[in-house]
Amino acid sequence: MKYEQLAKDIIKNVGGKENVNSVVHCVTRLRFKLKDESKANTEVLKNMDGVVTVMKSGGQYQVVIGNHVPDVYKEVLEVGDFSKSQNESDTEEEKGSILNRFVDMISGIFTPILSVLIAAGMIKGLNALFVALGWLDDTSGTYQILNATGDGLFYFLPVLLGYTAMKKFGGTPFLGMVIAMALVYPSLEGIPGSSEPLYTLFAGTVFESPVYIEFLGVPIILMTYSMSVIPIIISTFFAAKVERFFAKITPAVVKTFVVPMATLLIIVPITFIVIGPIATWAAQLLGDGTVWIYDLSPVIAGIFVGAFWLVFVMFGLHWGLVPIAINNITVQGADPVIIPMMFAHSFALAAAILAVWIRTKNKKTKTLSAPAFMSALFGVTEPGMYGIALPLKKPFIFTLIASGIGGGILGLFGTTAYVMGGMGIFQIPSHIHPEEGMNLAFVGSFIGIGVASVLAFVLTYFFGGFGKEESTQETSKENETTLSSNEGGKVEIVSPLKGDIVPLNQVSDEAFATGLLGKGIAIEPSEGKLIAPVSGTVTALFPTKHAVGLTTDEGVELLIHVGMDTVNLEGKFFTGHVAQGDRVEKGTLLVEFDIASIKKAGYKLTTPVLVTNHDAYELTTTDQKQVNVDDVLIIVEDGTEQTASNAV
């Protein structure tokens, strides 16, 4: 264990583990809540190898570590025998509005498996396409193997969700998987039909259910849990709480096996007896309800979903709709509401970007348009939306209009998704009917995206506002002496925020002000949008979304920390638009935050923008007093010679 000794020394000098109420971490520091801060040896900690400094703020005793704080945190939990779930769950209930908490929960559960979920759906869709084209027979071995490859994930979907949901709720992920495995256990699923029911519950109602087995005399209503979504999520929610309860009362010497055993013995039967049936009925009602709304007017439903899908994506609200689509496919066998109705949006956006690409005279916009166009065709809309359409405004509006009309056409033809497939062009096979093949509804999907694409292109091409303002912008850009990000080993970092410049040494947080965490500059933001200042990879995104780490293609490491001590808000008033590991282009929206609410909560919004591996570079920062997004903020150079542009 690389940081075991450091963890022991830290715990010892904060007064021992008996002096610790809780410990969490942010991007750079351990945050202790101590029973008695006077017992901590602050000076010893400050002089300790591996500790940058020690700070006291907001009732927390903060031990600043640096970028490797997650590794140190793990060792501190293990050495101090602190429960990670307990430390993180103490404040888990206070995360903002119900809607924000719901969206955060859903995204946390589904994001880790979304790529493989889409991959499996694409394989199923392609398999259906091969059969429809006559390339494969649905009795052939090739078809069966491909079908198993694509369908296996959906059959055992509760097992994957058991892992991700349990992890999201602060429990042991493998416990969630075991609960799910019990739900899809083949022997239990095979009981109905193999014998006569013992008796029937709720006879004469919509919930009429035959009972085949009992648990300690209690009747169990057997449901089909393979391919289900809601039952395992609800089950793991309660399982995490039960696990934490037993973790508190179980002696450490037997905790390793007693806690999971007790949790399973309670949760699995309760899930079969109560949670599973109720959740399954709820899932069926949800599916019936969405289809009922769709049946009222497929055209209006298509216009609404199509027109507002990109807006939902902007605010993260689409995460509340994705599970409905998955639920519809697993319960109803198809989704006519969500997946097909939003199908046209990526094609409309691609067409609008293509029009921008052709018409624009702005070199930067033209350069960004090519990759954004291709990514939109494949269903990845963020680069085009945030980098092209939104900044130019009119292309975004035209995209929404075209997407809505395309969605209405899809609703008119009754286009339906039968698998959770890919996005963009990869979504096309998802609309092939399992029995009818390429029917009229499938043909309608091409008409819908075709009309949306043509409309978005024509509106943007002729009315996109490519005129005097853009020409002036281009001339202004050409007159600036800016440095290319790959000329002479120089990297240009633009401002990720609009606001007033604050010298780093004037930041109220000592760790930032003294440059211990990196060199750079700070901004007092006037707009609550954090934009990627470089192209590169998101190497760190704290769960509370208040801090982002980026690494440029040239290896420059950045840390952007929105506000002082805003980690204490635990994600409240912050909305993330990227995930750790994502590749982003300069101009991509990373995080949105509510300035007024954060200030009202008593937190400063001064935002340091730091180069954390500054020892390898020479830095030149802007001398402007105010900056807009995309103004040059910092120039990073190899070697010792610095050549400042007119913008810095």
> Is 50 exceeded by the pLDDT of residue 70?
yes
* pLDDT the model gives residue 86: 47
Q: How far is CA 245 from CA 87, 91, 237, 239, in A?
A: 13, 16, 13, 10
Is 105 among the domain residues?
no
State pTM to two decimals.
0.51
For 548-560, the pLDDT digits (tens) are: 989 887 888 899 9
Q: What are the tens digits of pLDDT across the range 73-82?
A: 888 988 888 7
- pLDDT tens-digit series, residues 269-278: 999 999 989 9
pLDDT band at 383 (very low <50, low <70, confident <90, very high): low
Asked if 234 and 331 sit in the same domain, the reply is no
Do 348 and 218 reside in the same domain of the chain? no
Lowest mean pLDDT among 110-119, 123-132, 147-156, 425-434: 110-119
Classify residue 527: in a domain, yes or no.
Answer: yes
Within a domain: 343: yes
Does the residue 120 lie in any domain? Answer: no
The CA distance from 296 to 13, in Å, is 66
Q: What is the CATH number of the domain that holds 61?
A: 3.30.1360.60
Cα–Cα nearest to 304, from 348, 347, 337, 352: 337
Annotated catalytic residue, options 431, 546, 561, 577: 561
582: exposed, middle or buried (C-beta count within 10 Å: 0-12, 13-18, 19+)? middle
- List for the chain the helix, strand, coil content (%; round to 5): 50, 15, 30
Same domain, residue pair 456 and 365: yes
Residues 441-468: b if buried by 16+ CB within 10 A, e if exposed: bbebbebbbebbbebbbebbbeebebee
In a shared domain, residues 203 and 261: yes
List the domain range (segments joined by +) for residue 449: 294-468
Phi-psi region at 499: left, alpha or beta (left = phi > 0; alpha = psi -120 to 50):
left
Question: Which of 31, 63, 82 is at the close of a domain?
Answer: 82
Considering the domain architecture, whether residues 206 and 276 belong to the same structural domain is answered as yes
pLDDT at 94: 42
Least confident of 258-267, 379-388, 519-528: 379-388
Q: What is the mean pLDDT of residues 3-9?
A: 88
* Same domain? 301 vs 443: yes
Q: With contact defined as beta carbons under 8 Å apart, do 558 and 531 qualify?
A: no
Q: Which H or E run includes 303?
A: helix 298-314
| Mean pLDDT taken over the chain | 83
Within a domain: 194:
yes
Find the angle CA(285)-CA(287)-CA(291) to the nearest 5 degrees: 115
Domain boundary among 415, 442, 468: 468
Contact 169, 236 (CB under 8 A): yes
Q: Taking Cα atoms as reference points, which of 426, 430, 416, 406 lies closest to residue 349?
A: 406
From 46, 47, 37, select the one nearest 14 (Cα to Cα).
37
437 shares a domain with 351: yes
Counted domains in the chain: 4
Asked if residue 503 and residue 551 are part of one domain, the reply reads: yes
Cα–Cα distance measured from residue 613 to residue 520, given in angstroms and rounded to the nearest whole number: 11
Residues 487 and 632 placed together within one structural domain of the fold: yes
Among 444, 468, 492, residue at a domain's last position: 468
Name residue 530's beta-bridge partners: 591
Q: Are residues 300 and 282 in the same domain?
A: no
- 613 and 511, same structural domain? yes
Taking only the tens place, the pLDDT of each residue in 549-597 is 898 878 888 999 999 888 888 888 999 888 887 888 888 999 999 999 9
**Sign of the Cα pseudo-torsion (304, 306, 308, 313, in order):** positive
Enter the DSSP assignment of 386: I
d(CA 408, CA 471): 37
Q: Is 151 a member of any domain?
A: no
Among 443, 448, 418, residue whose Cα is nearest residue 433: 418
Write phi, then psi, for 630 (nearest 5 degrees). Answer: 90, -5
Q: Are 521 and 619 in contact (CB under 8 A)?
A: no
Question: Can 68 be counted among the known catalytic residues?
Answer: no
- For residue 311, tell me if it sits in a domain: yes
* Cα(445)–Cα(440) distance, integer angstroms: 9
In this prediction, residue 177 has a pLDDT band, given cuts at 50, 70 and 90, of very high
Q: Are residues 277 and 171 in the same domain?
A: yes
- Specify if 307 maps to a domain: yes
| Residue 30 pLDDT level (bands cut at 50, 70, 90) | confident
User: What is the C-alpha radius of gyration for the chain, rounded to an integer number of angstroms?
Assistant: 28
Annotated catalytic residue within 26, 345, 431, 546: 26
Task: Determine whether 26 is an active site residue.
Answer: yes
Structure tokens at 69: 């704080």
CATH of the domain at 538: 2.70.70.10
Contact 405, 428 (CB under 8 A): no
